Amino acid sequence: MTPQAQFQLNRAKNWGEFTKALRVFHGPEQNIFYADVSGNIGYYAPARVPIRAKGDGSRPSPGWSGDYDWKGWIPFEKLPHAFNPPTGLLFNANNQLVPEGYPYLLTSHWPASYRARRILEMLTAHSRHVDQGLSAMQMDTLSLVAQDLKPYLLNLEVLSERGKAAAQLIAAWDNTIDKDRPEPLIFNAWLRELKATIFEDELGDVFPKWSGMQTRAIAYALRDGPEWCDDIATPRVDPCAGRIGLALERALVWIESRHGTNMRTWKWGAEHQADFAHTLFRYFPMLDQLTGRTFPTNGDDDTVNRGSAQGSGDGTPFRHLHGAGLRAVYDLANIEESGFMIATGQSGNPLSPFYDNLLPLWREGHSLKFGAAAHYRLVLQPEE
């Protein structure tokens, strides 16, 4: 983002001025959406993206040869964009922006499409949407990963009594990642162990570096790459069913060691906790305890209400490390009725009542109106 692009964007009055401003947006590449009071919608993914003669830039290359030099920039008109699409919908959850066959390289890695698919489901379920409905979409915790993968677990024919009890819970589960339910904990612990049982023998010592791999790697192995399920350390050929069952048993042992044997008392939120540390005081143990805030949250890495964990080396593999720090719904018919919410609070001063007063509202999906009457006025006055 260049100062020139930001200045022009803040003053753009139409699509033409909007795109003109983005021509001087150099990077990093962003999804920037457009809407106006006339009902037009659009988006652009601007940046100065190099055209590479060779390679994708993901690993070092011999710069002295010239074979990997840049050959200019992707033309602005060829970057991903749309204006008033026929569907009347625009959305993005960091999913793939361009179709297969796009002639330029934007990235060698796109995040999984689970969240984008769920957003599309919700948007197309109704022809009209109101502010409250859009806010509810932002808080949605239905897991399409669970819809896709739990049949592999439920189709197992050989399970221990403990495994059968867990499978019964999963079978009756509605696939929502609720902090107060045991099923999300069982399911995510199973996925974590499944990554190890499928990939650790092939990856060996480097597996810990890849243990945070996306869930779609498991989906690929179970659906299209069953050779990954075979344990290369044994002469026999192992079917995926054996890996799936072993992962479940290991997951249940791990949960029992931390939360006891009564499955119905287990809670996803006991492991999935958002950690809000003070920007400075986090580095001082005593002050960190006084100023940090931690509480259980819904969602996981693949839900619209994102609660990414991606592993942790401190024994808390499901600690909530990444999510939406800001949520907003803009009403262009009446901008004063637009709503927003930020995590923690407006102040960075731990002694201020506004340091963490928004945390409960943020967790429950509430919002504040832009036009709400002010209770206080802050005056900055220089010394005489």
What is 3-110's CATH topology? Glutamine Phosphoribosylpyrophosphate, subunit 1, domain 1 (3.60.20)
In b/e form, how buried is each residue of 284-293, taking b as 16+ CB within 10 angstroms? Answer: eeeeeeebeb
Q: What is the rounded CA–CA span in Å between residue 220 and residue 226?
A: 9
For residue 309, the model assigns a pLDDT of 87
Number of neighbours of residue 222 by Cβ within 10 angstroms: 21
Tokens describing residue 266 = 């287990």
Give 73-132 as a DSSP string: E--GGGSSEEES-TTS----SS---S-TT-SS-S-S----SHHHHHHHHHHHT-S---HH
Q: What is the rounded CA–CA span in Å between residue 168 and residue 173?
A: 9
CATH code linked to domain 144-270: 1.10.1400.10
Q: What is the rounded CA–CA span in Å between residue 22 and residue 35?
A: 15
For residue 311, the model assigns a pLDDT of 66
Distances (CA, A) of 124 to 235, 263, 287, 299: 50, 37, 48, 22
Do the beta carbons of residue 221 and residue 213 sit within 8 Å? no
Residues of the chain short of pLDDT 50, as ranges, are none
The closest of 111, 112, 97, 106 to 56, measured between CA atoms, is 106
Pairing mode of beta strands 81-83, 41-44:
antiparallel
Tokens describing residue 251 = 């997951």
Do the beta carbons of residue 67 and residue 53 sit within 8 Å? yes
SS3 for 41-59 is EEEECCCCCEEECCCCCCC
Q: Do 3-110 and 144-270 have matching folds?
A: no
SS3 180: coil
How confident is the model over 133-188, as pLDDT tens digits? 899 999 999 999 999 999 999 998 878 999 999 999 999 999 999 999 999 999 99
For residue 176, the model assigns a pLDDT of 98
The closest of 250, 285, 255, 282 to 270, measured between CA atoms, is 255
For residue 247, the model assigns a pLDDT of 94
Distances (CA, A) of 290 to 271, 316, 350, 368: 21, 21, 9, 27
Question: What are the extents of the domains in the chain?
Answer: 3-110, 144-270, 278-369
For residue 227, the model assigns a pLDDT of 80
Q: Quote the pTM value.
A: 0.89
